[in-house]
Copies of this chain bind each other. A is one copy, B any other.
Amino acid sequence: MSLESVDSYLAEMRSQHLASLMDLLRIPSVSADEERRDDIETCAAWLKEHLEEIGAEHVQLLRTGGNPVVYGDWLHAHEGAPTVLVYGHYDVQPAEPLELWDSPPFEPSIRNDRIYARGVSDNKGQLYLYLKAFEAFLATRNSLPLNVKFLLEGEEELRADHLLQLVTEQSALLAADVAAVSDAGFFEADVPGLTTGLRGMAALNFSLRTANTDLHSGGFGGTVPNALHAMAALVSGLHSPEDGTVLVDGFYDDVKPISASLRDAWALLPFDPANYTSDIGVSVLFGESGYSPLERLWARPTLEVCGLWGGYQGAGVKTIVPCEAHAKISCRLVPDQDPYRVLDLVRKHLMQNVPPGARLTFDYELPGCYPVVTPTDSPALDSALSALRVVYGKEPVIFRNGASVPVVEIIQRVLKLESVLLGFSCPDESFHAPNEFMRLENFDKGPRTIARWWEDLGSR
């Protein structure tokens, strides 16, 4: 069947759709902010109503230990048609620092063919593109080429445990043939593509203590241990100074070597180190020798100290021997690392290397999520690549992402589903930062791409 009518419908409805997206973006659904609980509920209710309006059925809020998940489906496709589970999240990152926004984060503004608003690229705008593709089929054909289930959650920016529990409990309701994860994007703004791997994450916080109280450096300096010296020694022992290789025993044991074919494929990607570092003011790339930047980012694990502090931080000087020091570590993990095992190894390393006179305590830990890779040669993936190729007129690429999207691994492990990470955000769109935006080009082309993908999937 031709997609002409779908395309026409999307073109005709463009301003109404834009206006309706603006409404969604105006709701400040910041999951990290307890004060925004009402906004979270408002946002979930908005999506529920919208799903009903565009023709979804069984629309409901699924309650979790935290923010509600919005569910809706349409299951009347022709016999033998596959079912796609569409994932998105309606919660957004905090907008602070507000003074760095050129227009208010929750008052969407269109400038230079871009929509500026918190959450437009991550992820409300992205999930909205799926709603519009869905709507366009039903509005023009009163039917869809495949069965669709929507799973729109409200804690992606916060935690994954509630979602894991819900997916586990509702595995029958969520059963499908393939998942479409909207929380993804292009390799570069002008290079469409699909993500097929994400790193996992694990984190822990720890402290060292050398005395009951900070000590006067005149009365004690030279005779007692200094918690910051101990912390510096402990932290500096975590990495080789030459190239940052992690020195925790066993850290790399479960890391899968990068195949020659992957290395060759990644070497062909249009990655420009100068461009990569130009905006961030980094003078040299730094990382494990023997690996390209993309290999380090996608297929090598990291251990980063993401916070460290102790002693006096005020103006001038305070002549003390500090008695305590604190550090936060977060690791990015790659197949086949296990976050629990990695945390065990890090804890063991720290315990075995505590400098004399210091006492180690563990304050917090988060076995965040497992790393995941998705197929690079499946029919569903090939079909999505074709759709991108047709709509964008460019050859799409297959790549990975060094960050973590826990739902992909949860979908794979619990629902046994392949995820296709078809999203339309671009790396420069300032998600998690001020002046987040989405390109209008992708607002227009996204639903058309999704429609082509679904049409193709449904006809196989």
Interface residues of A (CB under 8 A from B): 199, 201, 203, 205, 210-213, 215-226, 228-229, 231-233, 235-239, 241, 244, 276-277, 279-288, 293, 296-297, 300-302, 304-313, 316-323, 325-326, 328, 330, 332, 355-357, 359, 364, 366, 401-404, 427, 432
Contact = CB atoms under 8 A, between A and B. Distances in A.
A232 B229 contact: no
22 contacts: A203-B319, A205-B317, A211-B281, A216-B403, A217-B402, A218-B401, A218-B404, A220-B297, A222-B296, A222-B302, A225-B282, A228-B307, A232-B235, A236-B237, A283-B357, A283-B359, A305-B322, A306-B311, A306-B320, A307-B311, A308-B325, A319-B330
Contacts of A328: 311-312, 317-318
Contacts of A308: 228, 231-232, 308-311, 325
Contact of A241 (B213, B235, B355, B403): B355
This chain: copies in complex: 2
A328 B228 CA distance: 11
A357 B211 CA distance: 34
Contacts of A355: 241
B366 A232 contact: no
Nearest to A310: B308
A284 B316 CA distance: 30
A312 B321 contact: no
A293 to B, nearest CB: 5
Contact of A305 (B236, B311, B359): B311
Given A223-B297, A297-B223, A357-B286, A304 B366 contact: no
Contacts of A401: 218-219
B305 A212 contact: no
A209 to B, nearest CB: 8
Contacts of A293: 223
Contact of A309 (B222, B226, B313, B364): B313
Contacts of A309: 308-310, 313
A302 B228 contact: no
Given A280-B213, A402-B218, A403-B216, A356 B286 contact: yes
Nearest to A212: B281
Nearest to A202: B317
A214 to B, nearest CB: 8
| Residue of A205, A235, A284, A308 most packed against chain B (CB within 10 A) | A308
A236 B325 CA distance: 14
Contacts of A297: 219-223
A233 B232 CA distance: 7
Nearest to A224: B282
The 6 closest A-B pairs by CB, nearest first: A218-B403, A212-B281, A307-B311, A232-B235, A309-B309, A222-B296
A235 B355 CA distance: 14
A275 to B, nearest CB: 13
B225 A356 contact: no
B325 A211 contact: no
Contact of A239 (B229, B312, B332, B432): B229
Contact of A307 (B218, B276, B312, B404): B312
Given A205-B317, A279-B212, A310-B307, A287 B233 contact: no
Contacts of A220: 280, 297, 402
Contact of A222 (B223, B311, B332): B332
